[in-house]
Structure 1
């Protein structure tokens, strides 16, 4: 474990970084509202396969600093850029889960592809979550507004039930254990309230469609057909249509949190992509 400081902007922000193994570097970027610990089942498989695996806590989450502002994607991509620069990484594979897909795409938009070998978007919000007239399969604005209001009114209460849909427990009670739900709640509830609210605003309202169409590196997209958090049609399917050099793998029986519910399949698919 180490700390990397992003000195850009009006204040220094310390980022908590886990760095394991040796070999070609992979950076794992976690989803909302968790921390790098959500990659618990992927890190060992990737390290044991001979890769250097770097996973960090997004600002405001986990053990990273909790500034009041800076939860827009430009700033979050700046944090990722700082990690890549400080660790002097090249030929990197970026893996973004859910909200983390936004950092992946915005990093490429703002800093280019010269250090990036490949990217993977897992249950990602890319390219656009919100429903619009030209994005009919997106999440209705009123639903996103309900989430924003719930975070203001009773953040902990909202988070207590959030991961039931996340893992599809509302449809399949045995999808994950009660322990897994409790573990996720313990992480999510400890995140900074302002980070939880402002990061949600970023993933709910940022349109990455133009940026996605500009990506040229090999891209793996994995998305669950039963994802009720980030619908397959507006995310994985649309991302595949926009990103020229992308391969889409659809998990027909998976909800959003497939990194836990479909661990072995996801790990095997990631490793196959890394080895091509």
Structure 2
């Protein structure tokens, strides 16, 4: 594991695998999660000729947990600093869940510095705006989450994990929970609130680099319809549904997922 300090002094931890001279792919995790969710992808890329990097966003995993900066745009800016430090040229950016929002903001800010996008199981907005039927969160939901995150978060996280996995099992659930519990409650609340109110319906229409959209077929957390909406908005994008997965196809259908992203990168 390696570390990098942003200009604001925040330490970000990351892991690398593969050929450092190969085409780069940067993997960005979801809300309340960590780079270790991509352990099966980091292992896969060791012998593919590609250069894979997975990072813990600020406040997550083993990275620093300052008292400020918990906005998706800040995560994107942090990511840009890391990519510049590693001298990665037009990387493929893979974002899962909130990580997709991070790479959409990254593209919006640095459109000429992105090679391709891989968007995994994330709607253009999680909030149920009056004109957005694919949003799943309401103001009342956020009020309840805000309170429970501060008072009794472990049962809430366990319920969330059951939604994330198509067929939950004790080993996976314990790992997911261990990563979520690394985040202090006050930071977790800030992360959830900022992420949920983001709206990328207009941003994604600007995407003009090769893009593939990967969704789980089990709609327990995000409906596949949200993926097809993205597919319709992003010109020349590809889409694939993993029927035996919920929110985590990279974890639940690892071989198919890894081969899919490698084939996509091979085509670039």
Calculate the TM-score normalised by the size of structure 2: 0.93
Choose from 204, 211, 221 the match for 2:203: 211
For 1:171, the equivalent position in structure 2 comes to none
Kept in 2: contact 1:139–1:231 (CA 8 A)? no
* SS in structure 1 at match of 2:209: coil
For 1:256, the equivalent position in structure 2 comes to 247
Task: Report 1:146-157 matches (<5 A).
Answer: 146-157=144-155
Kept in 2: contact 1:123–1:230 (CA 8 A)? yes
For 2:16, the equivalent position in structure 1 comes to 19
* SS in structure 2 at match of 1:43: helix
**What is the Cα deviation at residue 96 of structure 1?**
0.4
Kept in 2: contact 1:225–1:251 (CA 8 A)? yes
**In 1: Cα distance, 2:151 partner to 2:168 partner:** 28
Q: Mark the CA change 1:77 to 1:138 in structure 2 (over 3 Å): closer, same or farther.
A: same
Structure 1 residue runs of 4+, over 4 Å off? none
Q: Mark the CA change 1:91 to 1:140 in structure 2 (over 3 Å): closer, same or farther.
A: closer
Task: Report 1:118-267 matches (<5 A).
Answer: 118-125=116-123, 127-141=124-138, 142-168=140-166, 175-233=167-225, 235-267=226-258
Task: Report 1:44-59 matches (<5 A).
Answer: 44-59=43-58
**In 1: Cα distance, 2:241 partner to 2:141 partner:** 25
**In 2: Cα distance, 1:72 partner to 1:98 partner:** 15
* SS in structure 1 at match of 2:93: strand
* SS in structure 2 at match of 1:69: coil
Unaligned runs of 5+ in 2: none
Kept in 2: contact 1:60–1:195 (CA 8 A)? yes
* SS in structure 2 at match of 1:32: coil
Q: Mark the CA change 1:91 to 1:166 in structure 2 (over 3 Å): closer, same or farther.
A: same
**What is the Cα deviation at residue 176 of structure 1?**
4.2
**What is the Cα deviation at residue 115 of structure 1?**
2.4
* SS in structure 2 at match of 1:209: coil
Q: Mark the CA change 1:149 to 1:232 in structure 2 (over 3 Å): closer, same or farther.
A: farther
* SS in structure 2 at match of 1:82: helix
Kept in 1: contact 2:244–2:252 (CA 8 A)? no
Task: Report 1:52-67 matches (<5 A).
Answer: 52-67=51-66
Q: Mark the CA change 1:159 to 1:269 in structure 2 (over 3 Å): closer, same or farther.
A: same
Choose from 260, 265, 268 the match for 1:274: 265
**In 1: Cα distance, 2:232 partner to 2:38 partner:** 27
